Amino acid sequence: MAIEFIITEKKPGLTKPILLEGLPGLGLVGTIAANYMVEKLKMKPYGYIISEKFPPLIAVHNHVPEYPIRLYYSKQHNLIVLLSEFIIPLSAVKELSDEIYTFCKKEKVKQIISLGSINIKGAQDTVYIITSDKKDLEKIKKLKKVELIKEGATTGVTAMLLAKGAVEKLPVISLLAEANPEYVDPKAASMVLQTLNSLLNLKICTAQLDKEAKEMEKRIEEIIHKGQDAQKQYKEIEGGDNFSSMYG
């Protein structure tokens, strides 16, 4: 079965909306940011995406089972959000990107913005950006704590959308917050949403994500300290006073 968009809201009342794509990657940044935005902007269900190429799973939220790739919309903000709660299988990447693009053309989407992540390169204070449209360059250059990627490579659904957008003149922007690949990273999700606020003049409050990020950092510090203490105790037992006293 081909990848299929099932639209449950036939008349959302959108006019040349922007599609925000949040797919899981490093730190699950795209999924966290997209879900958070749906909650804070009180977005409504728009539909879901199905395919035999997807893993046989569902998501459960507030006791309700849901398809893991879903669409939401906000008439007030003229936005569509597409989010996934599982990593897209490699075999489905090309087809899904083509279907997303077809959906965007059908719905007269004027721009696609991907919410994603990249490995931490420094102090985790930068959002890297790739754009398919040169007209966006000057606007992006004015944003704080962002860096345009001039040379490099990217993969996955977003990469396919960027390439197609560049050829067919549909503006596609990829926002890549520095994220830790070893754990869920709410700080990176907050960073990408703050950049999105600046791009679209939104007012999504990221205080909850910032609080979660601090709690996450505290837990990680505790784990590291416990590990260091355990290592110290092990060394003392292995080669410290206990060892020497045993053998005089």
Residue 244: the pLDDT is 35
Read off the tokens for 179: 């994220």
What's the rounded mean pLDDT across residues 156-184?
A: 93
Residue range 15-36, pLDDT digits in tens? 999 999 999 999 999 999 999 9
What's the rounded mean pLDDT across residues 89-115?
A: 95
What's the rounded mean pLDDT across residues 187-208?
A: 95
Distance CA 19, CA 109 (A): 7
Q: Are 131 and 229 contained in the same domain? A: no
Domain with 173 in it: what CATH number? 3.40.50.10900
Q: Are 243 and 198 contained in the same domain? A: no
Residue 191: the pLDDT is 95
Buried b (16+ CB within 10 A) or exposed e, 189-199: bbbbbbbbebb
First to last CA, the chain: 75
Lowest mean pLDDT among 38-42, 139-143, 184-188: 139-143
Residue range 38-95, pLDDT digits in tens? 999 999 999 999 999 999 988 898 899 999 999 999 999 999 999 999 999 999 999 9
Q: Are 12 and 24 contained in the same domain? A: yes
- Does the pLDDT of residue 245 top 90, yes or no? no
Kindly state the helix (H) or strand (E) to which residue 157 belongs, with its residue range.
helix 156-168
Residue 239: the pLDDT is 52
The pTM score is 0.87
Q: Are 107 and 229 contained in the same domain? A: no
Q: Are 55 and 70 contained in the same domain? A: yes
Q: Are 83 and 147 contained in the same domain? A: yes
**Residues 49 and 67 sit within 8 Å (Cβ to Cβ):** yes
Residue range 218-236, pLDDT digits in tens? 777 776 666 555 555 645 5
Q: Are 87 and 72 contained in the same domain? A: yes
Q: Are 96 and 150 contained in the same domain? A: yes
Range of the domain at 18: 4-205
Q: Are 185 and 155 contained in the same domain? A: yes
- Does the pLDDT of residue 138 top 70, yes or no? yes
Q: Are 140 and 56 contained in the same domain? A: yes
**Domain total of the chain:** 2
Q: Are 229 and 146 contained in the same domain? A: no
- 146-148 and 127-131 as β-strands: parallel, antiparallel, unpaired? parallel
Q: Are 152 and 238 contained in the same domain? A: no
